[in-house]
Amino acid sequence: MTPVLPRALRRLALLVSLAALAGCTHVAAPDRPATALMDDARPASDLIQVVPRDRARGVPADGRLEVRSSRGVLERVRVSEYRADGIRRTVSGRIQSGGHTWRPAGGRLDLAAHYTVDAVARDGSGRRTVRHTGFSTYVPEHRFIGSFSPEAGSTVGTGMIVSFGFSRPVADRAAVERAIRVTAQPAQRVAAHWFGPTRLDFRPRTYWLPGTVVTMDLRLRDVRSAPGVYGLQRKTVRFTVGRSQVSTVDAARHTMTVVRDGRPVATVPITAGRPGSETYGGKLVISEKFPMTRMNGDTVGFGGEYDISDVPHAMRLTASGTFLHGNYWAEPDVFGTRNTSHGCIGLPDVRGGGETTPAGRFYASSLLGDVVEVVGSGEPAPAPDNGLSGWNLTWEQWLAGSALRGAGGGPAGASGHLPGGRV
């Protein structure tokens, strides 16, 4: 029996020595995933580097996002974004450079968001390391939005001009213009024109083709429009162009000829602006329709000359108060013979608005975006930003108003909504 003891002791000594060699391997706790196994002698940050650094704050939208493993190979990278509006998404990207680098697929970081990075890398010995980091992007103090017309899903006339109004003045017009795309199907080239720091319009060279679907793609979220001011919107909306209707008002002949889809369909008697209050000439566009509205001379510089509370079938042509509307108060023989208004275009109508009167029929058949071209008034066209009057600019003049062509912006002028009208 005595020879056996030394052999057992030798076996015990061997087991102890093997256990000592195995002691450098970390055993995962029961609640840790198997992928969390790592070499205790090498911290995760040594094998996996993440930019921005862990717990970074105020990272700009154009900040670099990258995961590297210069002394190992990345096996898996997951980057998650948590936005302030409650949206969560996975940031797309790919591992490249032989497995040593992960970069996002493209685009900028969202502001006011928190990002988490989870990466797994394998070193030269085949051992895996896991790293989890997080960072937050800059939270802007000021935001801006762009309101737009026409409305999403609407059907409009061929003369509709897409118009954006911004809630704050835009200093970096090129950045904002670059973030908005207006496209047409069937294809037509569409260009932008700035009217001062808060308005940006889009139109094609000629009127839209009937049946066109126009897409407005807004990528304004986190676009810097001015120092400390960033956009809030990211959305895509569409509208449809209906049939073509262009109506020519001849103020000298006191008539309006309506041409629909290239064919004359009606000629009606009208009364236009009287001497001293002539109706604007040029191409005007219907931008609003009201079955009935009030028109008060005080709102457009005519004092107390008129205040009519029930003007029927009113269609706005300029922001400064030019309307095409029904007129029930003028003598019937005025229409087709004399110009008696304060600048508006009046069509025969009855009090309360009649469905079968010239004004009623024209109102029912008109769309926002229909063109009304005035000739023979002796008055020039309104400023191109007075309503949707941009068709009075040549194509070259329109292109010159794009910030992306080196121009700072177009002419400034009245562009607000005025409640009254020029009857």
pLDDT per position as a tens digit, 164-175: 999 999 999 999
Q: Is 217 in the same domain as 287? A: no
CA distance 88 to 116: 11
Residue 84 predicted with pLDDT over 80:
no
Q: What pLDDT is stored for residue 307 in this prediction? A: 76
CA distance 218 to 154: 17
Q: What is the CATH number of the domain that holds 88?
A: 2.60.40.3780
Query: Is residue 9 in a domain?
Result: no
The pLDDT value recorded for residue 293 is: 87
Provide, rounded to the nearest whole percent, the portion of the chain with pLDDT above 90: 75
Average pLDDT of 305-334?
90
pLDDT at residue 287 is higher than 50: yes
Question: What is the reported pLDDT for 297?
Answer: 64
List strand residue ranges (DSSP E) for 69-112, in order.
72-83, 88-91, 93-96, 101-104
Same domain membership, residue 50 and residue 133: yes
Tokens, residue 234: 């990211």
Look at strands 128-137 and 56-59 and give their pairing: parallel
Domain end position, chosen among 89, 116, 137: 137
Q: Which tens digit of pLDDT belongs to each residue from 10-44?
A: 443 333 333 333 333 222 333 333 333 333 345 67
Q: How far is CA 354 from the centre of its chain?
A: 39
Sign of CA dihedral 342, 348, 350, 352: negative
27 in a structural domain: no
Q: Does the residue 237 lie in any domain?
A: yes
pLDDT band at 422 (very low <50, low <70, confident <90, very high): low
Number of domains in the chain: 3
Distances (CA, A) of 248 to 189, 203, 251, 285, 336: 26, 21, 9, 12, 14
357 in Cβ contact with 348 (< 8 Å): yes
Helix H or strand E segment including 11 = helix 4-22
| Candidate list 193, 254, 313, 325, residue with the active-site label | 325
E-state strands within 112-175: 113-123, 128-137, 142-144, 146-149, 155-156, 162-166
Phi and psi dihedrals of 404, rounded to 5?
-80, -5
What local confidence, expressed as pLDDT, does residue 146 receive? 94
CATH number at residue 389: 2.40.440.10
Residues 326 and 198 in one domain: no
pLDDT beyond 60 at 53? yes
Average pLDDT over residues 195-200: 97
Edge-first strand order for the sheet with 88-91 is: 56-59, 128-137, 113-123, 72-83, 88-91
Which residues lie closer than 8 Å to 360 by C-beta, 6 or more apart?
A: 312, 313, 326, 349, 353, 354
For residues 169 and 310, membership in a common domain is answered with no
Q: Is 415 in contact with 195 (CB distance < 8 Å)?
A: yes
Does 296 share its domain with 261?
yes
pLDDT of residue 309: 81
Verify that 232 and 316 share a domain, yes or no. Answer: no
Q: Is residue 417 part of a domain?
A: no
Entry pTM: 0.74
Given pLDDT bands bounded at 50, 70 and 90, which one contains residue 393?
Answer: very high
8 A C-beta contact, residue 359 and residue 325 = yes
Averaged over 183-196, what is the pLDDT?
A: 98
Has 344 been annotated as catalytic? yes
b/e code 242-262 from CB counts within 10 Å (16+ = b) = bebbbbbbbbeebbbbbbeee
Residues 359, 254 share a domain: yes
Decide if 8 is inside a domain.
no
Q: How are beta strands 263-269 and 282-285 bridged, if at all? A: unpaired
Q: Would you place residue 362 in the very low, low, confident or very high pLDDT band (cuts 50, 70, 90)?
A: very high
Question: Does residue 232 sit within a domain?
Answer: yes
183 has pLDDT over 50: yes
In contact, 216 and 185? CB cutoff 8 Å: no
- Residue 124: inside a domain: yes
Mean pLDDT, the chain, rounded, equals 85
* Among candidate residues 128, 159, 332, 310, the one with its CA nearest the CA of residue 241: 159
Domain boundary among 241, 263, 294: 241
d(CA 281, CA 279): 6
Is the distance from CB of 386 to CB of 357 less than 8 angstroms?
no
* Residue 325 known to be catalytic: yes
> Do residue 324 and residue 388 come from a single domain?
yes
> Model confidence over 233-279: pLDDT tens digits?
999 999 999 999 999 999 999 999 999 999 999 999 999 999 999 99
Residue 83 has a pLDDT of 84
The CA distance from 49 to 60, in Å, is 19
Regarding whether 236 and 107 lie in a shared domain, the answer is no
Residues 232 and 297 in one domain: no
Over residues 298-317, the pLDDT tens digits come to: 555 555 565 788 889 999 99
The residue range of the domain holding 79 is 35-137
258 with 381, same domain: the answer is: yes
Q: What are phi and psi of 225, to 5 degrees?
A: -100, -20
Out of 3-12, 341-350, 413-422, give the one with best mean pLDDT: 341-350
Q: Tell whether 344 is covered by a domain.
A: yes
Q: What is the CATH number of the domain that holds 223?
A: 2.60.40.3710
**Token pair for 295:** 């028109």
Percent of the chain with pLDDT over 70: 83
Tokens of 35: 């992928």
pLDDT of residue 304: 59
What value does the mean pLDDT take over residues 340-349? 94
211 plus 158 within the same structural domain:
yes
In whole angstroms, how large is the CA radius of gyration of the chain? 35
In the structure, what pLDDT confidence band is assigned to residue 218 with cuts at 50, 70 and 90?
A: very high
